[in-house]
């Protein structure tokens, strides 16, 4: 189904705006949390402000993707916008941290519909010769907004009010809603299917158990506690039930038949491992610059601009290159650059120059950018319009899962290395004085650093630098796994397959 040229531009604008606000809200509250907690209280619950959005978004992705295949993109895309706007309005009026967390979950449900359906609509409405270019543009916006969120959040909090982090979504969302309503007209021909309610229920419940386990483990509860083990056990049981139900369902949420396509399987696994690698870079490069080099925490979002530049370049070029090269060819170049960047970051020391760090960040950005545009195309390559929503949402879900798992696993690795080396460096913790430096984040403010005597500060920053460099060394694991799956992608090109036939 193709749209007239006069309608393509407003539809494209609406999709870009939707991807922008939905992906921004994954990260935008991070730099505002200090201000939010200071006003609303609930320091022990603030983690849920971010987690509620992420959990609800991930749980909704596969469901909305499937429903859009069954009943049409437009109605569920507009429903996603309305839920996102409702959540945004409620978040801006929250009077305590519990309310804010609940409202963020409503926002997340809407976000779970917006991103995968937006990417799917691209392939429904744009001609085959433009899909690579559009995929590059949309991938660049998604990648940029994922990194840019903390900077936007810090700016709005400093110069306006933290509530405008949510209110600013309202005019953007309304514009998006109007453009889609007026200009996006899809075929009314839909395939009659029954909804797999049992599959949807077990999938969502399993995801919620898994995400709660990751978010609470090592923080509010020990990893070996009954609560965390019960959550992971619940995930295993519910996910096992989901897999069994999908083999029996007439119209499963995620069809196993889709996994017979090698390109679909490999692109999803590449997205999973890229998500983990990408998040390590976005978290630990700012931690290095602020904690080791003494950079300003207030402008933390600015620290990632070099990475954003690299991401933008290769996200755009990657979308164009798949018209001439295979998906595998583009991704091999991408993962090769990524491995170089990780190798360079694993050499960080307190003496590494700012120019060198900036160069490493640009290389990491160049290595990750293409994944934002190419992997979504590859996941949908073999499927017609009745399966693209499920294909796109599964890819987006697995990338988000990789990001979340990556944050958890590498957070544990970095904290353990830091703690062990700190204990080894100082024979007695009393030698550290009264400053609370057991958590490396205490080094991120000038006030915190000023409380630590210079000789001790030098040793602590050296330990922090080592822990971050070794964490990047561990990041080779998902990056090499991504390389292995890229090598298995085959030689399919954008110009081939069902995507080029519609």
What is the tens place of the pLDDT at every residue in 390-448?
888 888 888 888 888 888 888 888 888 988 888 888 765 554 544 455 555 556 666 66
Output phi, psi for 4, to 5 deg: -65, 155
Q: Decide which of 495 and 174 is more confident.
A: 174
According to the model, what pLDDT value does residue 445 have?
61
**Full domain range(s) for residue 239:** 197-249
According to the model, what pLDDT value does residue 319 have?
77
Structure tokens that stand for 247 in this block:
């083999």
According to the model, what pLDDT value does residue 146 have?
66
* 3 state SS of 217: strand
Structure tokens that stand for 55 in this block:
């959990």
Q: In the predicted model, is pLDDT for residue 31 greater than 70?
A: no
Q: Judge if 206 and 270 occupy the same domain.
A: no
**Cα 451 versus chain centre, distance:** 36
Residue 370 and residue 487 in contact, taking contact as beta carbons nearer than 8 Å: no
pTM of the model: 0.80
Q: Judge if 176 and 228 occupy the same domain.
A: no
Q: Judge if 215 and 280 occupy the same domain.
A: no
Q: Judge if 275 and 138 occupy the same domain.
A: no
Per-residue model confidence as pLDDT tens digits over 162-176: 898 889 889 999 999
Give the span between the Cα atoms of 380 and 395, in whole angstroms. Answer: 9
- Identify which of 54, 48, 21, 55 has the alpha carbon closest to the alpha carbon of residue 33: 48
Residues 6 or more apart whose CB falls under 8 angstroms from that of 225 comprise none
* 3 state SS of 221: strand
Helices 128-159, 97-125: axis angle to 10 degrees equals: 160
Q: Judge if 123 and 217 occupy the same domain.
A: no
Q: Judge if 19 and 106 occupy the same domain.
A: yes
Q: In the predicted model, is pLDDT for residue 155 greater than 70?
A: yes
Q: Judge if 240 and 356 occupy the same domain.
A: no
How far the first Cα of the chain sits from its last, in Å, is 7
Q: Judge if 323 and 394 occupy the same domain.
A: yes
**Cα 354 versus chain centre, distance:** 27
Q: In the predicted model, is pLDDT for residue 502 greater than 50?
A: no
- Identify which of 485, 491, 269, 278 has the alpha carbon closest to the alpha carbon of residue 366: 278
Structure tokens that stand for 37 in this block:
């907690």
Q: Judge if 213 and 315 occupy the same domain.
A: no
Per-residue model confidence as pLDDT tens digits over 246-258: 888 887 877 788 8
Mean pLDDT of 369-387: 85
Structure tokens that stand for 455 in this block:
């000789």
Structure tokens that stand for 264 in this block:
């679909």
Q: Judge if 442 and 322 occupy the same domain.
A: yes
Give the span between the Cα atoms of 343 and 322, in whole angstroms. Answer: 27
Residue 183 sits in a domain of what CATH number? 1.20.1250.20
Mean pLDDT of 285-308: 72
pLDDT band of residue 300 (cuts 50, 70, 90) is low
Among 176, 192, 208, which residue terminates a domain? Answer: 192
Q: Decide which of 17 and 48 is more confident.
A: 17
Q: How many structural domains is the chain composed of?
A: 3
Quickly list DSSP for 93-120. T--SHHHHHHHHHHHHHHHHHHHHHHHH
């Amino acid at each position: 189904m193709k749209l007239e040229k006069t309608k393509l531009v407003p539809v494209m604008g609406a999709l870009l705006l939707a991807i922008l606000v939905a992906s921004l809200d994954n990260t935008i509250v991070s730099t505002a949390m200090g201000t939010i907690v200071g006003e609303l209280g609930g320091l022990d619950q603030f983690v849920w402000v971010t987690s509620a959005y992420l959990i609800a978004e991930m749980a909704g992705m596969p469901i909305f993707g499937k429903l859009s295949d069954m009943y049409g993109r437009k109605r569920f895309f507009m429903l996603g916008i309305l839920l996102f706007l409702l959540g945004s309005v409620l978040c801006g009026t929250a009077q305590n941290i519990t309310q804010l967390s609940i409202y963020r979950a409503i926002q997340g449900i809407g976000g779970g519909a917006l991103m995968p359906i937006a990417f799917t609509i691209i392939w429904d409405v744009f001609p085959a010769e433009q899909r690579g270019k559009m995929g590059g543009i949309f991938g660049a916006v998604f990648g940029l907004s994922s990194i840019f969120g903390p900077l936007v959040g810090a700016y709005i909090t400093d110069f306006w009010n933290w509530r405008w982090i949510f209110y600013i979504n309202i005019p953007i969302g309304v514009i998006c809603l109007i453009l889609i309503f007026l200009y996006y007209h899809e075929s009314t021909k839909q395939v009659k299917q029954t909804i797999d309610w049992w599959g949807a229920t077990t999938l969502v419940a399993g995801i919620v158990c898994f995400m709660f386990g990751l978010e609470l483990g090592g923080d509010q509860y020990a990893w070996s506690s009954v609560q965390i083990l019960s959550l992971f056990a619940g995930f295993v049981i519910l996910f096992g039930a989901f897999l069994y139900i999908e083999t029996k369902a007439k119209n499963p949420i995620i069809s196993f038949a889709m996994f017979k396509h090698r390109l679909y399987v490999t692109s999803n696994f590449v997205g999973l491992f890229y998500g983990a690698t990408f998040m390590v870079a976005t978290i630990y490069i700012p931690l290095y610059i602020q904690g080791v080099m003494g950079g300003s925490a207030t402008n933390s979002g600015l620290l990632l601009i070099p990475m954003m530049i690299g991401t933008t370049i290769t996200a755009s070029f990657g979308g164009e290159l798949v018209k001439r090269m295979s998906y595998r060819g583009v991704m091999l170049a991408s993962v090769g650059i990524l491995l170089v960047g990780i190798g360079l970051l694993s050499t960080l020391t307190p003496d590494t120059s700012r120019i060198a760090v900036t160069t490493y960040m640009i290389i990491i950005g160049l290595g990750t950018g293409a994944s934002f545009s190419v992997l979504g195309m590859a996941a949908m390559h073999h499927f017609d319009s009745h399966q693209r929503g499920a294909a796109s949402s599964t890819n987006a879900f697995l990338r988000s899962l990789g990001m979340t798992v990556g944050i958890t696993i590498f957070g544990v690795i970095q904290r353990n290395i830091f703690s062990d080396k700190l204990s080894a460096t100082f024979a007695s913790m009393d030698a550290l004085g009264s400053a609370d430096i057991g958590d490396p984040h205490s080094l991120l403010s000038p006030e915190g650093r000023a409380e630590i005597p210079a000789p001790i500060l030098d040793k602590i920053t050296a330990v922090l630098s080592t822990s971050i460099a070794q964490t990047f060394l561990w990041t080779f694991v998902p990056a090499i796994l991504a390389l292995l799956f890229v090598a298995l992608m085959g030689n399919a090109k954008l110009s081939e397959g069902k995507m080029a036939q519609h």
